[in-house]
Structure 1
Amino acid sequence: MNMALTYSPTSTDWPCQVKNPGSYDWERSAARWLRELVPARYASYPALMRHPVLLARHAQIQVQHEMRVARTALQTARAELPALGIPESVIEHTIKMYAAEVLQLQHIARSIRAVSQALIDNGTTRAAH
């Protein structure tokens, strides 16, 4: 996973649900946002909840898998949905839905990378002091 993205809280990739790095409680807001991106059962794993960078890594992997699923569904819709008896108008709507979902997931992945980099940078700063 390439986490080399430079973050800028004012960029379009920074999630509005996460406070700016360095502000009060920003790491907690980042962890809360990241928890929303992974299946709820992962909240029971203490390591993920105690280490936001680990949670960010897992969220990135989760979103990558979701993108693969959405792309597969998009690529196979026209060939497979007619055999299921789905009307053409519904197939067209479904294709648009999957295409929009891929774009949304790409944006989320960029946001996760930005938050992850900020968490890493923050951890590095604290470790240096």
Structure 2
Amino acid sequence: MIMPLTTTRISPDWPCQVKPPGSYDWERSAAKWLRELVPARYAGYPALIRHPVLLARHAQIQVHHEMRVARTALQTARSELPTLGMPESVIEHTIKMYAAEIRQLQYIARSVRAVTEALVAQAAGR
């Protein structure tokens, strides 16, 4: 009997560090990637180690707060950096840096959301 090939369609936001859902050891690769997104002290908590969905939730919160910090830094750069003695060239570079960081964090947030959805679906299927 010939087994049909099945393909798992994954989001374009799916992180390349995480194996596709349903593949061998994909949850472990997801947990490893998610641990890299949270502060090291959280990555060692037993509850977060044992429950990838909980780890994914924490990573979502972490990335959301990092975006808030970067947005605040961007919004206040022009008014606060001159008072710290920063030259205009440094201020412009800093603004570009924060804008790039926000774009990167938005991509990471979409990736975390995709991984979370897959982990939740996997857990519901058990």
* 1:78 equivalent in structure 2: 78
Instruction: Indicate whether 1:38 and 2:38 are aligned.
Output: yes
TM-score, normalised relative to structure 1: 0.89
* 1:93 equivalent in structure 2: 93
* 2:4 equivalent in structure 1: none
Instruction: Indicate whether 1:65 and 2:32 are aligned.
Output: no
TM-score, normalised relative to structure 2: 0.91
Which of the pair has the greater relative contact order for Cα pairs under 8 Å at 6+ separation? 1
1 CA distance for matches of 2:107 and 2:116? 14
Q: Gaps (5+ residues) in structure 1?
A: 1-6
- Identity level (%): 80
Q: Secondary structure at the match of 2:125?
A: helix
Q: Deviations over 1:18-70 (max 9, x none)?
A: 00000000000000000000000012210001100000000000000000000
Q: Gaps (5+ residues) in structure 2?
A: 1-7
Range with bigger deviation, 22-31 or 43-52: 43-52
Q: Between Structure 1 and Structure 2, how many residues are aligned?
A: 119
Regions of 4+ moved over 4 Å: none
Query: Which amino acid is the alignment partner of residue 56 of structure 1?
Result: A
Q: Which structure has the larger Rg over C-alpha atoms? A: 2
Q: What's the C-alpha RMSD, in Å, of the aligned pairs?
A: 1.2
